[in-house]
Amino acid sequence: MESKPFFRFLFFFFAIAFLLLFTWTHLPYAPPPNVTTLLDCASNSPWCTSKNRFQSKQPSITKIPRATATTRPRHESAAPRHPVDPLTIQEFNKVRTILSSHALFKSSKNYALHSVVLEEPDKDLVLQWTKGQPLFPRIASVIARANGESHVLTVNLETNEVNVLNTAPPTGYPMMTIEDMTSATWAPLSNAKFNRTIIERGVNLDDVACLPISLGWFGENEENRRLIKVQCYSMKDTANFYMRPIEGLTVLLDLDTKEVVEISDTGRAIPVPKATNTDYRYSEQKIQQELNLINPISIEQPKGPSFVIEDEHLVKWANWEFHLKPDPRAGVVVSRAKVRDPDSGVMRDVMYKGFTSELFVPYMDPTDAWYFKTYMDAGEYGFGLQAMPLDPLNDCPRNAYYMDGVFAAGDGVPYVRSNMICVFESYTGDIGWRHSESPITGMEIKEVRPKVTLVVRMAASVANYDYIVDWEFQTDGLIRIKVGLSGILMVKGTTYENMNQVEAQEHLFGTLLSENVIGVIHDHYITFYLDMDTDGSDNSFVKVNIQRQDTSPGESPRKSYLKAVRNVAKTEKDAQVQLKLYDPSEFHVINPTKKTRVGNPVGYKVVPGGSAASLLDHEDPPQRRGAFTNNQIWVTPYNKSEQWAGGLFVYQSQGEDTLAVWSDRDRSIENKDIVLWYTLGFHHIPCQEDFPIMPTVSSSFDLKPVNFFESNPILRIPPNVEKDLPVCKPAGSA
C-alpha cells in the first residue's frame, strides 16, 4: 500500500524535473529558420497543443459565410491594413528578434514577455486616416519581466528602435503568462510535504489537478516578490474536478522561482466530495429519452449573412461599421464604431473604442483558504488569453463567422487561437417596432417590423468560470453589451452532508449544493471602457435627473409630477455615479456643438442594467484594488495611458493606479474627449441548479441613441414577407 504511491511519486518527480529542464533549455530567442516551424509552437507553450497550433489549411469547423467578400488569408502572410489592426505573425517575430538582441534581455537568463500588442497610433492620427492612405509606423507595446524587474517598452517595427519606458506603477506585476500559470499548477508536486498531505487526504498524486489562484494583496509580507497560491482537487472519476476540492490546502508559491514559500492546511477534517453526478460531459450522461424533446431549430439565412468583414477586421453590417480585434487582455476590442445616418447617408461616429477593461470577482468567505479569492481576471489572467475556441453550432449559431486571435506566448513566439470570436446575425422573433390601430379609430393598420441584430461574441474560461461577452448591434443605433456567466462554481469542501447539521446558514458562507459541497457567495463585476465619440470626439456627460415636482396649491388637480433636470458634469467627480432607484437619472454623452434640426444636442445614453453594487468596505484591501467598482458609472478625460480600470499592473497591486484614483483627480470633462466607464455587477448566491455546471445567467447594459437621429432610424425598413424566406427541409430528407 505504501510503496506503490511512493514509486509513483518518484516517477512523477523525475518526469517533472525532466520537463522543467527541457523547458529551460528551450528558451533561446533566435527565431527558428522558418515561420511554419514557429507556428507549430514551442513545446513549452501549453497553448500549442495540436488543437491550438496554427493550421495552414482552413480549419474544417470554420464556415465562411457565403456572402462575405473576403476569405481568411493564411495567418503567416497576413499584413496590417488598418492603423489599429493587431500585430501579425511576422510582426510578432520581428519583435522577438529585435528584443533578443536588446541589452535588457541579452543579459537576462530568464526573461518573459507578459504582453505583446500593437501600440495604437495616437487617436487624432487614427481619426484622420482613411482607407488607401499608408499606415503609420507600426509599434509594438511590450510588457516584460527580466532580471526580476517589470519593464514597459515599445518596439518600433520600422526603425527597430526599442524604447524602455518608465511607466511601471509603484506596485503590482504584469498579467501572468500562460507559462506562469501552468508551471504554478505543477510546482507544488515537487514539494514532499505537499505530496504527503495529498496522500493523507486519500488522493493519489496522479489524480491531483491544481489551479493557480491570484492572491490579491493583503499587506507587507506579500510584497516585493511575485507570489501565487495554488489549491488542488481530485480529478478521479470526473472531468469536473472543481467539485472535488482538497479543502483548506493552500500552497503559497514564488512565481518567479517556483519555490514553495508556505503550505497551509486547515482542512484535514474535511472529506474530498464524491465524484457522483459531477461530470457534465455529454459522453458521460445516462441520457433519458424524454429530455431530448426539442426538434432541430436553426437561424437560417440561405442567401448568406448580411455582413462583410473587410481586410480581416472591418465589420460592415446594415447601417453599422466597426473595427474588431482580439486582445490578450481585454478579449474583444471594438473600435471606430460608426452608424449610418438614414437621412444623409453619412457614417457618424459613435464610439472610438470599447472593451472589457477589468473584472473583479470577490468571494465572500474570510477564512484562511478563501479570503484572498478576489480575482481580477483581465489584469491577472488575461481575459483574451482565456478565451477558448468557440464551439460552432453551440457557442454561436450556424450562420456565424469566426475570427482567430494571434497572440504571443511568454517566449514571444506567436500562436493562433482559432475561432476566438464569432460574428453572427441574430433573429429571435422579436419586434423592431409595431403599431396596430384599434378598431375604435376605424382604421385598419397593422405595421410591424422584425428585429435582426448583429452579435460579436467571445467566451473566456477563466479556470472554472465561463464568461460570455456579447456586443450586440441593432439597426436602431443601440449597442447592447451583455455578459453571460456559465461554467463551474468555485466550491468549498465541508463536513456537512445535510442542512439539518448546520446551525446557521450564514456560517456556510454559501449554499450546501450537494453532500460536502458548498457554493460560496461571490460577486462579479465587469467594467467596460467606452470611449464614446458621439458624432465627434469632444463630448459632455449630462445627468438628466428625474425629479418629483410638487404642484403649488390651486395649480393643478395633480399634487405631483416628474420633471427632467439636465446637469452637465463639469469635472470627473460630477460624473462618479452610484445608481439610485428612487432618485433616477438618464446618463447622456452628448456632443454640445451638434444639434438636431429642432435644437436638441445629439447624444447617446448609457442605459444601466445588471447594476449590483459592491458593498465591501472601501478600505478592505480587495475593494481598494477593485475601487473601480465603487461607482457603476465614471467619466474620465481621454488619456491613452488610462485604459485598465484596475491599473496597468494589477497583479498584487495595492490599488494606486485604478480608475477611482484617476477620477479623483477631478479633471475637467466638459466638452472634451471623454471616456465612459460602466460596470455590470452580479451578486451570486449559488443554488443547487448551479451544480455541477451553471445554466447561463446574463445581464446587459445599452448604449442608446438619444436625439442622435432626427427621428426613428428604422422607419423605412421593410417587413418580412413569406416569399423572401428560405425553403427548408429536415436534415437527411434533402
What residues numbered 574-603 form the site for a second copy, per CB under 8 A?
A: 578-582, 584, 586, 595-600
Residues 322-351, mask of contacts with a second copy (x by CB under 8 A): ------------------x-x--x------
Span from 127-135, 142-150, 401-409, 614-622 in contact with a second copy (CB under 8 A):
614-622
262 contributes a contact to a second copy by CB under 8 A: no
- Upper half-sphere CA count for residue 481 (Cβ side, 13 Å): 25
C-alpha distances in Å from residue 527, one per residue of 60, 272, 384, 460: 35, 35, 15, 15
Buried b (16+ CB within 10 A) or exposed e, 696-727: eeebbbbbbbbbbbeeebbeebeeeeeeeeee
**Which residues contact residue 127 at a Cβ distance below 8 angstroms, ignoring those fewer than 6 apart?**
352, 537
Q: Check 465, 467, 638, 651 and give the catalytic one.
A: 465
The site that binds a second copy (CB under 8 A) totals a number of residues, namely: 214
d(CA 98, CA 151): 16
Residues 75-114 that bind a second copy (CB under 8 A): none
468 contributes a contact to a second copy by CB under 8 A: yes
Report the chain's C-alpha Rg in angstroms: 27
Q: Check 180, 377, 466, 535 and give the catalytic one.
A: 377
Could you give the 3-state DSSP secondary structure of residue 626? coil
> Least Å distance between CB 178 and a second copy?
7
Residues 480-499 that bind a second copy (CB under 8 A): 484, 486-488, 497-499
Q: Nearer to a second copy by C-beta: 33 or 695?
A: 695
Quote the Cα angle for 504-510-513, to 5°. 105
C-alpha 553: how far from chain center = 55
402 has catalytic annotation: no
666 has catalytic annotation: no
Q: Nearer to a second copy by C-beta: 109 or 446?
A: 446
C-alpha distances in Å from residue 101, one per residue of 28, 106, 228: 11, 6, 31
Residues 225-254 that bind a second copy (CB under 8 A): 239, 241
Give the type of residue at 725: L
Residues 134-163, mask of contacts with a second copy (x by CB under 8 A): ------------------------------
Nearest to 650 by CA among 46, 44, 115: 115
Q: Which of 26, 193, 268, 548 binds a second copy (CB under 8 A)?
A: 548
715 contributes a contact to a second copy by CB under 8 A: yes
Q: Which of 622, 626, 646, 647 binds a second copy (CB under 8 A)?
A: 622
**Which residues contact residue 89 at a Cβ distance below 8 angstroms, ignoring those fewer than 6 apart?**
35, 38, 39, 75, 76, 78, 406, 414
d(CA 530, CA 652): 26
206 contributes a contact to a second copy by CB under 8 A: no
Name beta bridge partners: 417.
405
Residues 636-655 that bind a second copy (CB under 8 A): none
> Least Å distance between CB 209 and a second copy?
6
Q: Which of 16, 20, 568, 714 binds a second copy (CB under 8 A)?
A: 714
Q: Which of 1, 297, 503, 553 binds a second copy (CB under 8 A)?
A: 297
Q: Longest Cα pair distance anywhere in the chain, in angstroms?
A: 95
Span from 85-93, 105-113, 534-542, 605-613 in contact with a second copy (CB under 8 A):
605-613
Q: Nearer to a second copy by C-beta: 513 or 680?
A: 513
21 contributes a contact to a second copy by CB under 8 A: no
Q: Which of 164, 209, 568, 661 binds a second copy (CB under 8 A)?
A: 209
Q: Yes or no: say if 12 and 4 are a contact pair by the CB < 8 Å rule.
A: no
Q: In what order do the strands lie in the sheet with 491-493?
A: 491-493, 517-520, 510-514
566 contributes a contact to a second copy by CB under 8 A: yes
133 contributes a contact to a second copy by CB under 8 A: no
Q: Nearer to a second copy by C-beta: 312 or 702?
A: 702
Q: Nearer to a second copy by C-beta: 268 or 683?
A: 683
- Active site residues per annotation: 377, 465
